Amino acid sequence: MRIDVVTIFPAFFDVLEVSLMGRARGAGILDVRVHDLRDFTHDRHRTVDDTPYGGGAGMVMKPEPWGEVLDAIASDATSPLHFVFPSPAGRVFSQSTARAWADSGEHFVFGCGRYEGIDERVFAYAATLGTVSLTSLGDYVLNGGEVAAMAMIEAVGRLVPGVVGNPESLVEESHEDGLLEYPSYTKPAAWRGYDVPEVLLSGHHGRVAEWRHDQQVERTRTRRPDLLSD
């Protein structure tokens, strides 16, 4: 899977060299390329922002460097392009979004905005090159799109075949079946006065499966009743 990232802080993405994502990149399963937006400016100060038309607080990212970097990426596209602009004003990302994107076969481009946002015309221009999504992680505000893009890249990337060693571990986890994950235990069976639930020591696979499912439903009911409402 090919992923391009556009940012004024490439260092945020250094952590993609670590752990499962780093191994997947080394193995050629994920091809992640990070572009510094300032490399697509032409003035001495490498300016990427300016004051908003109509006034107001903060600065807005200028369209010209974005146009140039999007053109450069589009000229090197490996499959249909999907531009994702992380934004708290976007639609909320979920496991089903991650699954759809991982299965899409698209070439993803994450455009990370800073300041008060990106000039709105950039989204219209990107739509002439591919699909455009404005996507939020949830109802809180981060300083820019970088941390949100990282979260989405990891959520999508780990669903690409070969990134996670044991594909079964993807099936049983929280949100894949609309329920939270069941609790897990390992040895020792007794620890500081806390015992592992008896059923897990029974060796009875049917009873274990039933207990785990009951735990999933009960956890979801108490912690996340919104997931059960439909």
Of residues 30, 36, 65, 86, which one binds ligand 6GU by CB under 6 A?
86
Stretch that binds ligand 6GU, among 68-76, 143-151, 192-200, 216-224 (CB under 6 A): 143-151
144 binds ligand 6GU (CB under 6 A): yes
Tokens of 176: 């894949």
| Sign of the torsion formed by the C-alpha atoms of 135, 139, 145 and 150 | negative
52 binds ligand 6GU (CB under 6 A): no
Phi-psi domain of 46 (left: phi exceeds 0; alpha: psi -120 through 50; beta: other): left
Nearer to ligand 6GU, 102 or 148 (CB): 148
Nearer to ligand 6GU, 10 or 144 (CB): 144
Which H or E element spans position 81? Answer: strand 81-92
Nearer to ligand 6GU, 7 or 216 (CB): 7
Q: At what angle do helices 19-26 and 145-157 cross, to 10 degrees?
A: 70
Which H or E element spans position 228? Answer: none
Tokens of 19: 């752990």
- Closest CB 58 distance from ligand 6GU, rounded Å: 13
Stretch that binds ligand 6GU, among 16-24, 133-141, 153-161, 208-216 (CB under 6 A): 133-141
111 binds ligand 6GU (CB under 6 A): no
Tokens of 3: 């992923």
